[in-house]
Amino acid sequence: MSAGERPAGATAPATDHPPIRTRGLTKRYGDLVAVDGLDLEIRRGEIFGLLGQNGAGKTTTILMLLGLSEPTAGSARVLGLDPARRVLQVKRRVGYLPDAVGFYGDLTGRENLRYTARLNGLSPDEAEPRIDAVLEQIGLADRADTHADTYSRGMLQRLGIADALVKDPEILILDEPTTSIDPIGVVEILDLLRRLVRERGVTILLSSHLLNQVQNVCDRVGIFAAGRLVGLGTVPELAASFSDGRASVEVMFEGVGDPAVADRVEATLAGIAGVDAVARSGRSDEPWTVSVMEVTAAADVREAILATSAAERLRLSSIRAATRSLDEIYREAVRRAGLTNGAAA
């Protein structure tokens, strides 16, 4: 292991500054404000999701963080460095996977990684063990010596992550890493990101417009719309911030395939104090949604459902508080910001 390299499972050295911080970061292209006064702080060792539609300003933000585009106003610090002035130092410590990853198809995966290692000034003695380690970690060890032009889209994305990891970065920035990947490949990529944080202590900034994937993997989410950050927090925190003052409870009952039983269940639920509406599921194996007038009444409604179901001999099989989806949160955040959509253009 070369001097200064972190062993597998070790976290990055502690510092007094967050890995990524921006203050008033702004980028204008003529009359278009692509990024508008962005204040953002990303914590060490977290997966942070920058969520927004295509054109919202996510890629522009990433390019400024990497020193590949200079801000019109404001500032950014990456590992305490100004990327606009210290671009080479930032590049040495940050791995980047663009939305359109490309490799030499006539080279093997291993040969592509060797090329990247040489570009980063690594000697063969340093590069080879790192390449072996990252290929194993991303699950490409068995295909490392086949040409990249035989790789699937998901394999190319994994090779792209390996390419970013060869330099042993402290931060990994991924721009739309799961676009056009099949569902199994998406699960593999997201699982890989979790392992990287757990095993290598990497801080990950993930840019995406795919809400469900962000919700599944990210510790915190920044909702980006028209170049502005309109929401920030964990998904539960965002759900509380952008609540409409209502709550929902999901319930399942046995026997509701029988219309008479379903009618009886619906009438019973609708008669419970605090219940505003009952939405039947179209299938007997999917939950019904009980809308509650006030968030503060949700616990009382759940208790009443349990008691009433027992008293009425209804076969309640499951009950749980329903959380708002990130899709609902996103739409509400954009609406409150006075925007018709999330695009900057």
CATH code linked to domain 20-240: 3.40.50.300
Taking residues 197-210, report their average pLDDT.
92
Residue 342's pLDDT is what?
53
Taking residues 275-281, report their average pLDDT.
92
Three-state DSSP class for residue 251: strand
Report d(CA 52, CA 58) in Å as an integer: 7
The architecture (CATH level 2) of 244-322 comes to 2-Layer Sandwich (3.30)
Asked if 64 and 25 touch (Cβ cutoff 8 Å), the reply is yes
- Closest C-alpha among 16, 11, 50, 19 to residue 231: 50
The mean pLDDT of the chain is 89
Residue 184's pLDDT is what?
82
Q: Would you say residue 340 has pLDDT above 80?
A: no
Q: What is the pLDDT of residues 102-122, one digit of tens each?
A: 899 999 999 999 999 999 899
Residue 343's pLDDT is what?
54
Q: What is the pLDDT of residues 296-316, one digit of tens each?
A: 788 899 999 999 999 999 999
**Segment among 1-5, 201-205, 249-253, 299-303 with least mean pLDDT:** 1-5
Provide the pLDDT confidence category of residue 187 given band limits of 50, 70 and 90.
Answer: confident
Report d(CA 89, CA 334) in Å as an integer: 36
Taking residues 183-204, report their average pLDDT.
88
What residues does each domain of the chain span? 20-240, 244-322
